[in-house]
Structure 1
Amino acid sequence: MSEPDLTPAAAVDGHRRGRVALPERTRSPWWELGRRVLAAVGILVGTVLLVYFDREGYRDANGDGISLIDAIYYTTVTLSTTGYGDIAPMTDSARLINAFIITPARIAFLVLLIGTTLEVLATRGRELIRIARWRKHMGHHVVIVGYGTKGRSAVDTLVNNGLDKESIVVVDPTPLALEDAHADGLAVVSGDATRREVLRRAGVANADQVIITTNRDDTNVLTTLTTRQLNPDAWIVAAVREQENAPLMKQSGADSVITSSDAVGRLLGLSSLSPTLGSVMEDLLTYGEGLEVAERDLLVSEVGKQPQTLPDQVIAVVRDEKVFRYFDPVVTQLARGDRLIVVRPAKELPWAPRPGTHDEDLASGDD
């Protein structure tokens, strides 16, 4: 059975209570209604024809035969179980047809009539079961707070890099965001992310990462504070509109802060001063085409080498959780346990193989 759409009124109610709403697996309501109407009409027409073709086996209260109108009348009162008894099957064949064909048709007709009501009554129970199952398997997931342009782009990047959509939970109070997230196959907690109960429902306490992307810096700061209290170990990435609020966001517990207005302004400035450079920067920020910035493990064959000599264009080295530029003397020679930040083709090309994607031995720190 299809799941019902969440109406705006229900979304508002969910906003108040921090309700969990899983993505719906729906067909068009008009398709469902049309399918049931056609089935009911098919049963009705089929039964009318059956009775009319066997009209010699029926008699009315006066003992006369029946016409087409009588067949329609008999069919409607029979399928609706009204059964006035003014028309009745008289021959053995008519009675057998009533017993083995028309009676099952009557049952099917009634099922169609009450099917919608039963579905509505069962919907809440099914939804509770789905949410309970979802909660049982939810953990080490990613919470996206705010499903606007930034939130959708963050989800697209995560999914394109291999994260399962079932490992993503969106928190947003607006009906439009809920509709968009459900269309993208994502679970949604409808509510204000500054409220502790809403974040609990999203499983923030067990999340590995939390990405905060609302359009208000004060909301982002308060959400970051609440998230950090619920989960001291989560990696929190937060967006701020104004650079002056970035230090406050850091103090609130964010591990990484992205200034959206400054980033857009710099890209606009670069595109104005150098259209070519602006195109390259846009290419780096676009997933799946041209160039990409990626993080990968160091290979055994690369241990002891200089970053500049590797096939990938290394721009930074992560060592002991610290980031060093490729020219920093500390990383003149690469060591086991290092991770590389590289610029490489978004898709592997015959003349540009991507190291680390062909089951090479990795130089992890545990070796």
Structure 2
Amino acid sequence: MNFIPQFTQRSAGTEAVVSLPHGGRRPGRELLVRALIGLAILLVITLLVWFDRDAYSDSGGDGLTFVDALYYATVTASTTGYGDITPVTPGARLINALVITPMRIAFLVLLVGTTLEVLSNEVRRVLIDRRWRKRMRNHVVIVGYGVKGRSAVNTLHQQGHDLNRMVVIDNRPASVDEANLTGVAAIHGDATRREVLRRAEISKAREVIVTLDRDDSAILVTLTVRQLNPSAHIVVGGREGENVSLLRQSGADAVVTSSDAVGRLLGLSAVSPNIGAAIEDILSSGVGLEVAERQVTANEVGNSPADIRGERVVAVVRNKTMRRFYDQSVDTLQTGDNVVVIRKSEARAEKERSERD
């Protein structure tokens, strides 16, 4: 995984910029550390002058106070040097030459370096955003990074999708940070806004997964996505079954209702624990069974779906139309067909191979 510094604007009035996976200290923490170092330098100079205050001359003639020592430290570190407080003994001048002067230089380097870095980071942030947007093609956009969004990303990754070809949109900064830690680029913003969707290069996306907590927001996002990208495959996670038709009318190609799905699984588990266990096994990644779609091989062309060994065909996709395995029109597999199968999970198969070896 390539780690790239994070340069993101998150205020309401700024433009949404992609936030890429990052490593090391955050910019805010880095600035805090540098500020503390600068304060430490001023404090050390102040204490050096305060403890040796009798070796300094004050133009006021009333002796040095702690405030005077702090004042001398600030004007010295900033190279202002008004000359109203000066070291008069050889020892004090030697300390200024050998200790305070290097600290003054370090303070200036810290100040100038921080300023230059802030400016360069701002330029680099824009360049990183432009470069990322330029290379994003046929990618997957996940709107919402809650429980469903995280599960979708994990499933896509386990199915072989590159994390670098995914981008998350979420209006919660914590979710953006979590997506970055997973290795996924993210944009902080409201997905119902066209500008935020455009920042995710939605018009060039191949897949769009909408996993929001409110069906009305999901409908609005789906409508906007469909307008910006008529060819994208849009999958929406709805909450209520009564909103499925609205989600489909708004442009969703597939709608999964979480409440109905969970309720049905609970009901089946109550009627027959074995049915519930089997469905949960299929839905759980890397346990025993998994559902997959693949293209028919040359050796399988002309055979019946029931003749395929090692897998159980549940549907055949022909001309972009899914037909169940009992449909007589797919009794014979053809070139270009895809099959939806239930098979042993890759993780399980790999474990068995390792045990045999």
Q: Is TM more than 0.5 here?
A: yes
Matches for 1:49-60 after TM superposition, within 5 Å: none
- 8 Å contact from structure 2 (residues 315, 339) kept in 1: yes
- 1: CA distance, partners of 2:21 / 2:279: 37
SS of the aligned residue for 1:300 comes to coil
**Distance (Å, rounded) in 2 between the aligned partners of 1:111 and 1:39:** 10
Partner of 1:349: 349
Give 5+ residue unaligned stretches, structure 2: 45-54, 58-72
Cα offset for 1:337?
1.0
Structure 1 residues 258-267 or 29-38, which shifts more? 29-38
| In 2: Cα distance, 1:155 partner to 1:312 partner | 25
Give the match's secondary structure for 2:303.
coil
CA 107–274 in structure 1, closer or farther in 2 if over 3 Å, else same:
same
Tell whether the 8 Å contact from 2:19 to 2:176 is kept in structure 1 after alignment.
no
Specify whether residues 274 and 194 from structure 1 end up closer, same or farther in structure 2 by C-alpha distance, changes over 3 A only.
same
Aligned to 2:215: 217
Give the whole-Å Cα distance in 1 for the aligned partners of 2:127 and 2:336. 44
Residue 330 in structure 1 maps to residue 329 in structure 2: yes
Identity over aligned pairs, percent: 47
Which one of 261, 264, 267 corresponds to residue 263 of structure 1? Answer: 261
Q: Where do 1:288-367 residues align within 5 Å?
A: 288-309=286-307, 310-346=309-345, 347=347, 349=349
Runs of 4+ in 1 over 6 A off after TM superposition: 4-7, 35-42, 76-80, 82-88, 101-105, 350-353
Equivalent AA in structure 2 for residue 258 of structure 1: V
Per the TM alignment, residue 263 of structure 1 is displaced from its structure 2 partner at its CA by 0.6
Q: What runs of 5+ residues in structure 1 fail to find an aligned partner? A: 46-58, 62-75, 354-367
Query: Do the aligned partners of residues 161 and 102 (structure 1) sit closer, same or farther apart at CA in structure 2, a change above 3 Å counting?
Result: farther
**TM-score where L is the length of structure 2:** 0.74
Residues 297-326 of structure 1, C-alpha deviations (whole Å, 9 max, x = no match)? 212222222212222121111111111222
Match of 2:18 in 1: 21
Q: How does 1:53-72 map to 2 (within 5 A)?
A: none
Please name the residue that 1:364 is paired with: none
Instruction: Give the counterpart of 2:224 among 212, 223, 226.
Output: 226
Q: Following TM superposition, by how much is the alpha carbon of 1:188 offset from its aligned partner in structure 2, in angstroms?
A: 2.6
The answer to whether the 8 A contact 1:267-1:278 is kept is yes
Give the CA deviation at 1:86: 6.4
Cross-structure match for 1:54: none
Residue correspondence of structure 1 range 1-367 to structure 2 within 5 A: 3=6, 10=11, 12-13=12-13, 19-23=16-20, 25=22, 26-27=24-25, 107-309=105-307, 310-346=309-345, 347=347, 349=349
Shift of 1:292: 0.8
Q: Is the 8 A contact 2:240 2:257 kept in 1?
A: yes
CA RMSD of aligned residues (A): 4.1
CA contact (8 A) 1:78 1:106 kept: yes
Contact 2:222–2:251, Cα closer than 8 Å, also in 1:
yes
Whether the aligned pair in 2 keeps the contact of 1:147 and 1:213 (CA below 8 Å) is yes
How many residues in Structure 1 have an aligned counterpart in Structure 2? 329
